[in-house]
Structure 1
Amino acid sequence: MESKSTKGAPNSTNNSYEIIERSPTVSEHQALWDSVSWGNLDTGMSEQSIANSIYAVVVEIEGQAVGMGRIVGDGAMYFYLQDVAVHPDHQGHGLGKRIVERLLAYIRQHKHEKGIAFVGLFASQGKEPFYEQFGFKDHSPGMTGMFTVFEPTAPQE
């Protein structure tokens, strides 16, 4: 993925945030997951997940990754926002909004020209209003988002 960046509003130390079109590194991905209490990720799983992204952005300040967001899906009709996270020390500066705006702009530009795009996400509890500002809504009771989790398989002996 070609790296492009835009500067953002200065923070309290008069430095600016930069949104860069690139995937997070495995260590950045794991550190940001941990910072927002999503749990620990296996290195191999993180690496494969990042590699299979359609598009990603990372927010940096002074070369340090403090936010990220990824798109996964089929690249034509179905797109899912994943791993939209901003380190708690950097929340409240509009970074999450800027990440989602960049991800949605990518989808608008790259969805199949003759069809609609279905864009989904799972919002952490209490974060629903944040995503509603972008047009996301709970479609129940007419439609229910569902998922299942496959636990790790025990090693064969």
Structure 2
Amino acid sequence: MPGRDVAAGYDFAEEIPAINDYRRLRAVAGLTPKSFEAARIALPNTLFAVVVRHQGRVIGMGRVVGDGGCHMQIVAMAVEPAHQGKGIGKGIFAAFESWLARTAPDTAYVSLIADGDAKHLYAKFGFEPVMPASIGMARFYRGDPAKR
């Protein structure tokens, strides 16, 4: 599954990450933290996922979510900082591209939110900014406002 430019010793698998790995990788990669309950609900609803291991330990992941036909989104791309810069993110994304080429119907809209320099990786796979025609918008739900 990984490309030629991934360093040796990394094992890529098409599988959904375990809840604890998912939450840990999000935290160490600087992504928004997710509660155990949110991850427990979300992970089984994954359309496609990749987990990367180094010496048996999960050090990277990524997921595709959506309805499987009209709309899909690439989410939760995360690699432990000590393993970044070794082609792992590119390998994960290449697995997404392969899966999408096999499964996405014509007219499927595949989106993602690019944080920081990740936009350069995504551009290599043909993803482009949607502005000014569209603008990404988000809202985080953080439980009962009275408990904040």
Give TM-score, length-normalised by structure 1: 0.84
- For residue 108 of structure 2, what is the aligned residue in structure 1? 117
Stretches of structure 2 lacking an aligned partner (at least 5 in a row)? none
C-alpha RMSD of matched pairs (Å): 2.2
- For residue 37 of structure 2, what is the aligned residue in structure 1? 44
Equivalent runs, 1:1-157 vs 2, <5 Å: 11=7, 16-112=9-105, 115-153=106-144
Q: Would you identify which runs of 4 or more consecutive aligned residues in structure 1 move more than 4 Å? A: 5-11
Higher RCO, 1 vs 2 (CA within 8 Å, ≥6 residues apart) = 2
Percent identical residues: 27
What is the number of equivalent residue pairs in this alignment?
147
User: AA paired with 1:65?
Assistant: V
Following TM superposition, by how much is the alpha carbon of 1:31 offset from its aligned partner in structure 2, in angstroms? 1.0
- Give 3-state SS (helix, strand or coil) of 1:140's partner: coil
- Give 3-state SS (helix, strand or coil) of 1:38's partner: coil
Give TM-score, length-normalised by structure 2: 0.88
Higher helix fraction: Structure 1 or Structure 2?
2
Cα distance 1:69–1:10, how it changes in 2: closer, same or farther (>3 A)? closer
Bigger Cα Rg = 1
CA contact (8 A) 1:30 1:41 kept: yes
User: AA paired with 1:110?
Assistant: T
